[in-house]
Amino acid sequence: MKVLVAVKRVVDYNVKVRVKADGTGVDLANVKMSMNPFDEIGVEEAVRLKEAGKATEVIVVSIGPAQAQETLRTALAMGADRGILIKTDAEVQPLAVAKLLKAVCDAEQPGLVITGKQAIDDDSNQTGQMLAALWGRPQATFANKLFIEGDKAKVVREIDGGLQTVEIDLPAVLTTDLRLNEPRYASLPNIMKAKKKPIDEKTPESLGVDIASRLKVLKVAEPPKRVAGVKVPDVATLVQKLKTEAGVI
Amino acid sequence: MPTYKAPLRDFRFLLNDLLNIQNYGNLPGFAEATPDMVDAVLDGSAQLMEEVIAPLNQVGDLEGCKLDNGVVTTPTGFKAAYKTYCEGGWNGLTADPEYGGQGLPHVLGLAMSEMMTSANMAFGMYPGLSHGAYEAIHAWGTDEQKKLYLPRIVSGEWSGTMNLTEPHCGTDLGLLRTKAEPQADGSYKITGTKIFISAGEHDLTSNIIHLVLAKVPGGPAGIKGISLFIVPKFMVNADGSLGARNGVMCGSLEHKMGIHGNATCVLNYDGATGYLIGEKHKGMRAMFTMMNAARLGVGMQGLAVAEIAYQNAVSYAKDRVQGRSLTGTKDAGKPADPIIVHPDIRRMLLTIRAFTEGARALALWTGINIDLANKHPDPAQRQAADDLVALLTPMVKSYLTDAGYESATMAQQVWGGHGYIRENGMEQFVRDARIAMIYEGANGIQALDLVGRKLPTGMGRLLRRFFHPVEQFIQENVAGPAGKDFVMPLAKAFARLQQATAYVAEQGLKNPDEAGAASSDYLRLFALVALGHMWAQKALVAQAKLNDGAQDRAFYETKLVTARFFMERLLPDTGSLLAKVQAGGRTMMALDAANF
Ligand SMILES: Cc1cc2nc3c(=O)[nH]c(=O)nc-3n(C[C@H](O)[C@H](O)[C@H](O)COP(=O)(O)OP(=O)(O)OC[C@H]3O[C@@H](n4cnc5c(N)ncnc54)[C@H](O)[C@@H]3O)c2cc1C
């Protein structure tokens, strides 16, 4: 079984994100970029499947600018076998990504596709679900545990207020949640080997996919700054203020 | 708790733009070291150091190592972190591929060792000493010895130590008493007491390979009769499996000022089985292979601790509000301005930074020359690089640790009283950095090595390896656009170095005490010029990048400001150092010991 993992290059989770002065987006100049942490979990899960003899090949795919190649190399250093870079400098929205992944699925025929439940830049939480629909295959989102049993997968999902176990037919789409696993540190020999692993370059045009944006960003703004609080003398004042000033009770 | 971020941007600048390591693709190991590979390797190791090794630094300091009935336990977390480090293959970064290493350039090894030491100096010493043992066995061991020991040292399964010091002999190894008696089977029985042995006993590895200096009875007296032996903690069978416990035991652990996470052991050898490595009575030669590597490693410790101390001083200086800026309020929203507005705080921060970044350049330049000395196809080039490394080694060891310690106390000063409080972690840096000035040849001994051994070698041949390129650099660039700001100050300091050198050579010939009296100031003067040479080159590169419209402007502009600060605020010390050198040793030698 081939496992396909989608990995996105995003602003590193340690970076304090700043909004561009003109409000059109986030300032990316000289900002550290890394693999989306949920995708790292996806790569780890796929590599573990391979180590356990459940997967035969781990393919990682990224959609983005030339530098997304570094993200693919990181995944290859973690143990993925080969990469596919769908190169575009345009903004790609979840639907376009799902269509591109669908095209890759048609070509590669994977038994399992893993995406993160969301990317930490736009937090859309849509790509995996849209892909499953376009591909006409089952989905198990927010995975907390995964067991492959023949041509089925048992997936424990994180849902509001608890865990839910579902069984789905393969091929299927899985989206990772934070607690699925703890990604490994890439080893030095694997970092060096990663350089020799193949990365296939494609473009949206070569896959025949229209990636035109369907959503328009009106404005990007920083969340309002926290203002200083006030100390209230007693509970009665607090309740009163919550009622009259905050209007929450 | 202090935090650490590896200075990856600066490494990239030094390796790619200053040292141009991509130009050495014809050397073994360098073909792989393309900029993107170097990035990936540094990123990967930085992540490990920042996330796994650094968080154990304070734990290690507070807990220390424990000895119970000969068994040493390292602080909580060290064992697991060591396992992660070894499983990642990091221990073999520069090691020979024949023994399981990755064979990457030494210069990258130095970069990683800086990061590991910043993250956790006490932890980094365990692999650090193994590396020294690796070097000695690799250079002097027989094929069997190499096959038996190296793969497991490279993988990190076993560790190494170096055993020189005894209670009555530290600097003067000629006084050594540990005895090695030849046995019928060709092995030796080693008996004696070694003290202060770093990583001498611990629970990180299944075996420890001690490299021990001892005397074979009947040999020449003093330093000429010393031999080097391999003494494993557990005997090693021909297939590499472990046999009986050898007769070497940890008698006690030292209670010490810093590096609590590293076990400093008294090792008692009681008829332990040892195997000669290298020639009998020529042990010092083999030992020096190990010591030269170790001296650079210790120099990196000074730099590395200064780096993390700097990072945490900067974050505190931006956060701590106290007083108002002399030129008017800078942050009206706060009851006072952050202390980074004060010139004196900036003086301290920039002094550290001008040192660490200059020192990093010097260290990596030394590193690339180690690679050239080991790997260049042309013997003349190998010799030239080897000479330069020999010349620079005492400076890297001594100046980087002296200034590293000064930097650590300056960073502590930025924290005011809070820097004196244990929980905040700044005083640990001061305590940890202190040892680097002492071990691996106390800094005074390094100065003697420079003046007494390195200067006279080949009638100044080593010296010329440094003087000629500096002269050439000055001539080529002094009239250029950066000449006035960056090359003239270097030229002035270099002239002082030449004067000091002439003085030391002349007076030293007449009276060796004069050379001894001048040595420490001379070494510092020399090291400042070496850093000045690096800073001038960096300034030129940074200026060129800015002229070319480089993206990362803030980085290059900061380089230029820091370079200027070095030229204006650190390099002028060469003036007073020259005055001290030329003052001679009269007063030093005047008093009778009774009058001290
Ligand atoms: C924490 C720690 C870890 C250590 N780890 C190791 C280890 O792993 N292996 C090991 O073998 N040793 C180790 N050492 C020992 C260390 O290398 C020695 O302490 C050091 O070499 C100095 O020797 P000494 O202490 O005997 O000082 P001494 O040799 O007694 O020197 C005292 C002072 O006199 C000066 N001096 C001595 N001789 C001269 C001279 N001829 N000219 C001018 N000045 C001179 C020295 O510079 C020094 O300032 C360690 C020590 C410590 C504290």
Q: Is A203 on the interface with B (CB under 8 A)?
A: no
Nearest to B41 among A30, A74, A188 (CB): A188
CB of residue B164 inside a 6 A radius of ligand 1: yes
Range list of H helices, B478-567: 488-510, 512-547, 553-565
Backbone φ, ψ for residue B377 (5° rounding): -65, -25
**Percent over 90 (pLDDT), chain A:** 82
Structure tokens that stand for B147 in this block: 């096959």
pLDDT tens digits, one per residue of B170-190: 999 999 999 999 999 999 999
pLDDT tens digits, one per residue of B456-467: 999 999 999 999
Q: Whose CA is nearest to atom 26 of ligand 1?
A: B170
Distance CA A14, CA A34 (A): 10
Locate the DSSP E strands across B25-121: 66-68, 71-73
**Contact yes or no for B363/B303 (Cβ under 8 A):** yes
Count the neighbouring beta carbons within 10 Å of the beta carbon of residue B205. 22
Range list of H helices, chain A: 37-51, 68-78, 94-108, 127-135, 188-194, 235-241
Residue B571: the pLDDT is 98
What architecture (CATH level 2) is domain B158-281? Beta Barrel (2.40)
Strand partners, B267: B194, B250
The stretch B116-134 carries a mean pLDDT of 97
**Percent over 70 (pLDDT), chain A:** 100
Does residue A16 carry a pLDDT above 90?
no
Backbone φ, ψ for residue B453 (5° rounding): -115, -50
The stretch B474-486 carries a mean pLDDT of 94
B173-182: string of b/e by CB count within 10 Å (b at 16+)? beebebbbee
Residue B42: the pLDDT is 96
**Residues of A numbered 146-165 whose beta carbons fall under 8 angstroms of chain B's beta carbons: which are they?**
none
Intrachain domains B8-65+73-151 and B158-281 with the same fold: no
* Terminal CA-CA length for chain A: 55
**Contact yes or no for A172/A154 (Cβ under 8 A):** no
**Contact yes or no for B355/B362 (Cβ under 8 A):** no
User: Locate tokens 């607690």: which residue?
Assistant: A179
Locate the DSSP E strands across A55-190: 57-64, 82-87, 112-116, 139-149, 152-159, 162-169, 172-176
Select the more confidently predicted residue: B198 or A244: B198
**Contact yes or no for B552/A30 (Cβ under 8 A):** yes
Lowest-confidence pick of A229-238, B143-152, B550-559: A229-238
Does residue B294 carry a pLDDT above 80?
yes
The residue type found at A108 is E
B276-313: string of b/e by CB count within 10 Å (b at 16+)? bbbeebebbebbebbbbbbbbbbbbbbbbbbbbbbbbb
Does residue B285 carry a pLDDT above 90?
no
Q: In terms of C-beta distances under 8 Å and separation of at least 24 residues, what long-range contacts does A216-222 make, across chains too?
A: A217/A24, A217/A25, A219/A23, A220/A19, A220/A20, A220/A23, A220/A24, A220/A25, A220/A26, A221/A19, A221/A23, A222/A18, A222/A19
Distance CA A93, CA A119 (A): 11
The stretch A10-37 carries a mean pLDDT of 90
Does residue A92 carry a pLDDT above 80?
yes
ipTM associated with this complex: 0.88
Distance CA B257, CA A113 (A): 55
CA–CA min distance A194, chain B (Å): 9
Residue B434: the pLDDT is 98
Distance CA B512, CA B464 (A): 22
Q: Whose CA is nearest to atom 27 of ligand 1?
A: B170
Does residue A228 carry a pLDDT above 80?
no
Using alpha carbons, list the distances in angstroms from residue B53 to A5, A25, B242. Answer: 30, 36, 29
pLDDT tens digits, one per residue of A102-116: 999 999 999 999 999
B392 exposed, middle or buried (CB, 10 Å; 0-12, 13-18, 19+)?
A: buried
The residue type found at B421 is I
pLDDT tens digits, one per residue of B192-238: 999 999 999 999 999 999 999 999 999 999 999 999 999 999 999 99
Band of pLDDT at residue B28, cut at 50, 70 and 90: confident
H or E element in which residue B212 lies? strand B207-215
**Contact yes or no for B199/B129 (Cβ under 8 A):** yes
Structure tokens that stand for B415 in this block: 């924290």
For this structure, is B440 an active site residue? yes
CB of residue B126 inside a 6 A radius of ligand 1: no
Residue in B114, B307, B357, B440 annotated catalytic: B440
Distance CA B561, CA B567 (A): 10
CB of residue B176 inside a 6 A radius of ligand 1: no
Domain ranges of chain B: 8-65+73-151, 158-281, 456-588
pLDDT tens digits, one per residue of B140-151: 999 999 999 999
Does residue A249 carry a pLDDT above 90?
no
CA–CA min distance B91, chain A (Å): 9
**Contact yes or no for B500/B577 (Cβ under 8 A):** yes
Cα(B74) to ligand 1 centroid in Å equals: 24
CB of residue B198 inside a 6 A radius of ligand 1: yes
Band of pLDDT at residue A229, cut at 50, 70 and 90: confident
The stretch B12-19 carries a mean pLDDT of 96
Which chain B residue has its CA at the smallest distance from A228's CA?
Answer: B333
pLDDT tens digits, one per residue of B406-440: 999 999 999 999 999 999 999 999 999 999 999 99
Band of pLDDT at residue B32, cut at 50, 70 and 90: confident
Q: Which sign does the torsion angle of CA B460, B466, B469, B470 carry?
A: negative
The stretch B498-509 carries a mean pLDDT of 95
DSSP B278-293: SSTTBHHHHHHHHHHH
Superfamily grouping for domain B8-65+73-151: Acyl-CoA dehydrogenase/oxidase, N-terminal domain (1.10.540.10)
